[in-house]
Chains A and B, each alone.
Chain A
């Protein structure tokens, strides 16, 4: 009897061991799903470095100019007399001008607001949300009894331009604390970045990960790596300055998606994600773009 049973048992045993192996994998799977920002950032950077082996890592912050030699020549010449110069002066003046209560922006920020751009956005553990530089500026104004500024251009762009200028060359240093809410914000930003939306069915990544260096009509698409380092920007197309909020809103509307409100949770989370994956790359703002 024994000899007869053995061949029958063997496949059964095999099945059991297969089931056990499956069980182990099923247990391991949730661990792999846990957000791992550090690994994401590494993979993100590797993707661009591999795709563009001739571009120096710190040059990615110069967006389209890192991708196209002709554009770079024009830009180098333009930088001798940059179009954001007037905004920079206006921002410096605004930054120093006291509020009605006598306080200034310097009182709201670490190190008097000088050379701190690279630390934004950060996760505010008390409020449980991502705080961008633009949001922090308006919170500062409101705390001092001033009306908030429009998020998209003019004063806000001038102020952030000045704050970025004082931080030029400092590497992005975005921290994601070991807090499930911070990780959730990061994941939400990442999801927003890779989700297709709008009539044209584009995600942020369709242009800025899949196609940097390619032409979009007359424009050269900027790589997503280091894309926020140059913010705010003077865009010739806008004939003026624009903030990160303005950039997100116009990116959405250009792909015929419905833009969100400036500084919405999604946009702040997106900024958190994009800044984090560009950690280590220097701030180059304010920038000039065609």
Chain B
């Protein structure tokens, strides 16, 4: 199975612009399926971007974030070729992570 995370980080001057797309159902726990049974809540609780072991972006998410979430932010202090680690953990304990090179 391919990674659930797509990430692209581009250094532009002293700012690095990061975009990421994560594949996740992000079920809120308030939706019923076709049979009328509640689809249990299943959402990413924490999303972290690390540069050189230091978290540059952390998001504490809840059930209100949409399916397949997209994130975009910028940070300072990185240069081309550095590695950026992205990881998430959801409320069922599942997780995924990937590493991208800053372009």
Could you tell me which A residues sit within 8 Å of B by CB distance? 80-81, 83, 85-86, 89, 93, 239-240
Contacts and interface: CB of A to CB of B under 8 A. Distances in A.
A81 B68 contact: no
Contacts of A89: 2
13 contacts: A80-B8, A81-B6, A81-B19, A81-B21, A83-B68, A83-B70, A85-B21, A86-B6, A86-B21, A86-B23, A93-B2, A239-B67, A239-B68
Nearest to A240: B67
B66 interface: yes
Q: Is the interface of A mostly helix, strand, loop or mixed?
A: mixed
Interface of B: 2, 6, 8, 19, 21, 23, 66-68, 70
Contacts of B70: 81, 83
B66 A83 contact: no
Given A85-B6, A239-B68, 10 more contacts: A80-B8, A81-B6, A81-B8, A81-B19, A81-B21, A83-B21, A83-B70, A86-B6, A86-B68, A93-B2
A80 B19 contact: yes
B66 A239 contact: yes
A81 B17 CA distance: 13
A89 B70 CA distance: 17
Nearest to B70: A81
A40 B52 CA distance: 62
A258 to B, nearest CB: 19
Contacts of B66: 239
Nearest to B7: A81
B60 to A, nearest CB: 22
What 9 A-B pairs are tightest by C-beta distance, nearest first?
A239-B67, A86-B23, A81-B19, A81-B21, A89-B2, A85-B6, A83-B68, A85-B21, A81-B70
A178 B29 CA distance: 56
Contacts of A85: 6, 21
A22 B71 CA distance: 71
B94 to A, nearest CB: 17
Contacts of A86: 6, 21, 23, 68
